[in-house]
Amino acid sequence: MATATATAAAAAPAAVPALVSPLPRRAFFQLPRRAGPKSLRVFASAARRRGLVVVAADAAAAAGGAEFSDEENPYEILGITPLDSFDHMKLAYKRKHKEAEENGDQYYLSKLEKAYDTVMMQQLQYRKKGVTYGSVQVSKDIKYADDQPIVPWGPRSSKSTVKDMRINLGISAAIVVWIAIMGNADWKPLQFLCFAFFYRILQKLRATEPPITPIYNEYGEVEGRGIRMAKRVVRALGLIFGCVFAASLGYTAAVNVIEFSWQYTPRIVYYYQELIVTAATSALLYITASYYR
């Protein structure tokens, strides 16, 4: 018994060191320290890394835009001015792009593409703001060209300028005075009235046509220009014949109502049919050309 007790007593001191970790206590419980020079260096290097990331991001964002020096101008590279039309800009770009490809000048080709992208982005921003160049406001028909009416082929509200309205009024008044002075049955003034307002409406449709991106063929010609011109002609003819049809139908309906109510037709209504129809048509064409398109 004494031998066993002595053996256990001898083994106890050896077991205690086995349960104690050889690592220092500070390895498990890190005490807070003041930021010394080493911590400041780590913080500065991290800040520099973040700064480099920001600079790299800004450079990547600017890479998509223009990379021109102070002496270079994208308009001068394309050989155009900010006042040129979109068709002229596109044609100049196509011509210079073709010349650069034939000469094999990759540096000028890349610079030309960047200049064209810069000009197009600038024009797009101007269109969104409603400004073309020099703070010239764009008309609502062009600025909101994406807004389609409920009836695509129906007349659209588009008020003309005061000068155009006066011109339309002068044409209508001249035709009415002409047929009133003639005093005989003749449809020639109505024909001249239709021709005059056909030209007026056609010019208005051309001026208020929404801008589109032209597609050029290999000869530098814009594809679809003839189709758009044909649409303007058909629309102008539709508005003209619509006014003539409305005036003629209104005259016929008025004559029938008067004859049904009074049991006879007055001489002024019967013998001055051309004058009444021409005057009514001139009034309708004036309203259509001045306030619609």
- Predicted confidence (pLDDT) at residue 139 exceeds the cutoff of 90: no
Q: Which of 8-12, 62-66, 277-281 has the highest mean pLDDT?
A: 277-281
pLDDT of residue 149: 56
pLDDT of residue 44: 40
Please state whether beta strands 215-216 and 222-223 pair in parallel, antiparallel, or not at all (unpaired). Answer: antiparallel
Average pLDDT over residues 67-84: 73
The pTM score is 0.48
The residue with greater pLDDT, 97 or 11, is 97
pLDDT in tens, 238-287: 999 999 999 999 999 988 888 888 888 788 877 888 888 999 999 999 99
Average pLDDT over residues 78-94: 79
Of 51-55, 139-143, 214-218, the one with minimum mean pLDDT is 51-55
Six-digit token string for 98:
């073709």
The DSSP result for the chain, as a single string, is: -HHHHHHHHHHHHHHHHHHS-SS-GGGTSPPP----HHHHHHHHHHHHHHHHHHHHHHHHHHHTS----TT--HHHHHT--TTS-HHHHHHHHHHHHHHHHHHT-HHHHHHHHHHHHHHHHHHHHHHHHTB-SSSPBPPHHHHTTT---SSTTS--B-PPPHHHHHHHHHHHHHHHHHHHHH-S---HHHHHHHHHHHHHHHHHHHHTPPP---EE-TTSPEETHHHHHHHHHHHHHHHHHHHHHHHHHHHHHHHHHHHHHHSS--HHHHHTHHHHHHHHHHHHHHHHHHHB-
